[in-house]
Structures are given as structure tokens and as C-alpha cells.
Amino acid sequence: MLRRMGFSLLAILAVAIGLVVGTFNSESVLLDLLWFQINWPLGLILLCAFVVGLVLGMALVNMAQVLPLRLRLRKLRMAGEQRIIPDSSADDA
């Protein structure tokens, strides 16, 4: 319940910030990206740059922190399972 309400408040805040940025930066800007040019409102370019930076930052954190920890956890779990499973050849003797 609290998580859903927090997410809703965060979504409303993000929409409000997007509207404010879009309203105050409504003039059209030419963005030259080597092979093509885009003529968009400045607010949209700012929000797109923010989202791209956020996604790239999250991807870098995932690759640098989360993936090594998951691999380590997998190795530890496999080592723990091997220790728990009894050796079936000892029962036959």
C-alpha cells in the first residue's frame, strides 16, 4: 500500500517537473548530431538528455556493482549446495 502510494507520488512529481521544464523551455532549438539534425523544443531535448543519462548511469552501476555481486552469490550458493548434498557413493559401501 505504502509502496504504491510512494510510486504514485513519484510519478506525479515527475510529470509536474516535466511540465514545468517543457513550459519554461518551449523555444525551438536545432540539435546537430553529426549525421542528422533535429529541431525540437529545448524542454524536450533537456528531458531526453536527462532520461538517456539516467538509463546509462543505471546500466553502468548494474554492470559495475550488481552483476559481480550476483556472480559471487551464484558461486557461493553452488558451493553451499555441493556441501549439503550427500555423496551417494558412501551409501553403497
**What's the full length of the chain, in residues?**
93
Instruction: Name the residue with cell 523551455.
Output: 25
The series of mean pLDDT values per 10 residues for the chain, 93 residues long, is 85 88 88 88 89 93 89 88 68 55
Helix, strand, or coil (residue 85): coil
Cell of 59: 546500466
Angle between helices 42-61 and 2-24 (to 10 degrees): 140
pLDDT for res 6:
87
> What is the C-alpha R_g of the chain?
25
Is residue 37 within 8 Å of 31, Cβ to Cβ?
yes
For residues 50, 52, 57, 62, the Cα torsion angle rounded to the nearest 10 degrees is: 140
